[in-house]
Structure 1
Amino acid sequence: MPETRSTGLLALGGIALAALLTVIGHLEVNDDLNPWALTISDFAVSDRGGVIDVAMVVLALATVALLYGLRRSAPAPSGRAAELLLGAWAGGLLLAAVVPTNDPGTAMTTAAYVHRYASVAAFLALPAAGWLLARRRDLAPAARTLRILVLLSLTLAAAMVWSAYPGDRLLIGLAERLLILVEVAVLAIVALTQARAVVDHGVVVPHRSGVAA
């Protein structure tokens, strides 16, 4: 279906724009902020309503485009659960963008807790969605890559949890950025596979020269 390829391309554009805005947001903040020791949310709160918050909204909208494409492509038994998890990822991103965390080193507020758990829900929902999406026929060329990325994201999530608690936030910023990079790669692989899909008698089928299964 042509709209499936269009939503894949739209999602890829949104992912690329979100990545660019995030880089710009890191360059614009106070030089005293350490990206290896502080999370992206810590950077965003220093420039409330700035480009990092916009990047989160753009990424959520790119996910919505992916969801539309997935619904238009061939159905799968695991499709509904994966769509709900992707919706949870997008919703968590939007909530985290709207509700700020606290400034680094200050006491946690109610808003900061909402921001934290919205982010946690998003980080957990996306790899679960990626694992389910790997079962879909229309994403078969990307199945192996998706599973590898999901396992890597879970490893990085465990490293971030360790850093946040027993690790005394050691390199928590690095762990989070690597985690986000891998999870966004999951979205990009799905979007790329959608964009390269072909149509066979009205049913979307995978492009065989795409990502190896």
Structure 2
Amino acid sequence: MPVSRSTGLLALGGIALAALLTVIGHLEVNDDLNPWALTISDFAVSDRGGVIDVAMVVLALATVALLYGLRRTAPTRPGRAAELLLVAWATGLLLAAVVPTNEPGTAMTTAAYVHRYASVIAFLALPAAGWLLASRSDLAPVARTLRTLVLLSLTLAAAMIWSAYPGDRLLIGLAERLLILTEVAVLATVALTQTRAAVDHGVVAAHQTGIAA
């Protein structure tokens, strides 16, 4: 259980740091950029290698820490499919951070397509992983919360897809930010539950040791 607590805390710390860096990245870019009409990637490309890219890497590493804790937790594991989906989410984030998109209003390049589809894979993989994780016995207390967040994520993903194509990018930045916020909430819910379970287990073990003594 100490491993689960440590990885849970690492994941929570990584999520908080990624959120802070993303906010800073929005404050540092050109004031002419509209967060409701432009995606986070559009902001990141204006500050290539800046804090938003770092935030994506940090969030990917937080996911790795969370996955390691889940794999070490007995008696259940997330299952092969959930593990692969979490890896796909983390890999998609890393690719999106490393491979730049194009400047807003310019023609799509090969790198921009790689960035786009890495992001799409990440956005779809995490909700699927969250749905599978909700079936774990150690996450039963938050199963309903996880499934609610997953359904909300899929709804926002559909809204973003509509905006990107027939919607002429109407409020695509807002849809994306709400989607990311909801998906990060899935990670945070799992990490917080993992940490609390490890703490509760430690308290019970200490109490039983005291009684035995």
Deviation at 1:74, TM superposition (A): 2.5
Larger radius of gyration: 2
Q: Distance in 1 between matches of 2:199 and 2:12?
A: 20
Q: Could you tell which deviates more after superposition, 17-26 or 67-76?
A: 67-76
Q: Are 2:71 and 2:78, in contact at CA under 8 Å, matched by a contact in 1?
A: no
Identity %: 91
Residue identity opposite 2:159 in structure 1: A
Q: Are 1:25 and 1:50, in contact at CA under 8 Å, matched by a contact in 2?
A: yes
Q: Are 1:25 and 1:52, in contact at CA under 8 Å, matched by a contact in 2?
A: yes
The answer to whether the aligner puts 1:20 opposite 2:20 as a matched pair is yes
The answer to whether the aligner puts 1:182 opposite 2:175 as a matched pair is no
Q: Distance in 2 between matches of 1:74 and 1:163?
A: 43
Q: Distance in 2 between matches of 1:60 and 1:183?
A: 13
Residues 167-178 of structure 1: pairs in structure 2 closer than 5 A: 167-178=167-178
> Which residue is 1:207 aligned to?
none
Q: Could you tell which deviates more after superposition, 193-202 or 38-47?
A: 193-202
Large movers: runs of 4+ above 2 Å: 74-78, 198-202
CA-to-partner distance for each residue in 1:76-121, whole Å, 9 max, x for gaps?
A: 4752211110000000000000000000000000000000000000
Q: Distance in 2 between matches of 1:141 and 1:88?
A: 26
Deviation at 1:198, TM superposition (A): 3.6
> Which residue is 1:102 aligned to?
102
Q: Are 1:79 and 1:136, in contact at CA under 8 Å, matched by a contact in 2?
A: no
Residue identity opposite 1:197 in structure 2: A
Deviation at 1:200, TM superposition (A): 9.1
Q: Could you tell which deviates more after superposition, 193-202 or 180-189?
A: 193-202
Change (3 A) 1:103 1:79: same
> Which residue is 2:128 aligned to?
128
Aligned-partner SS, 1:197: helix
Residue identity opposite 2:154 in structure 1: L
> Which residue is 1:163 aligned to?
163
CA RMSD of superposed structures (Å) = 1.5
> Which residue is 1:61 aligned to?
61
Residue identity opposite 1:65 in structure 2: A
Change (3 A) 1:146 1:108: same
Deviation at 1:26, TM superposition (A): 0.1
Deviation at 1:199, TM superposition (A): 7.8
Aligned-partner SS, 2:30: coil
**What is the aligned residue count?**
202
Q: Are 1:21 and 1:55, in contact at CA under 8 Å, matched by a contact in 2?
A: yes
Deviation at 1:132, TM superposition (A): 0.1
The answer to whether the aligner puts 1:83 opposite 2:83 as a matched pair is yes
Gapped regions of structure 1 (runs ≥ 5): 203-213
Q: Distance in 1 between matches of 2:95 and 2:73?
A: 28
Q: Could you tell which deviates more after superposition, 134-143 or 14-23?
A: 134-143
Q: Distance in 2 between matches of 1:189 and 1:113?
A: 31
Q: Distance in 1 between matches of 2:104 and 2:187?
A: 30
The answer to whether the aligner puts 1:37 opposite 2:37 as a matched pair is yes
Q: Distance in 1 between matches of 2:27 and 2:195?
A: 31
Q: Distance in 2 between matches of 1:189 and 1:74?
A: 19
> Which residue is 2:139 aligned to?
139
Residue identity opposite 1:131 in structure 2: W
Deviation at 1:27, TM superposition (A): 0.1
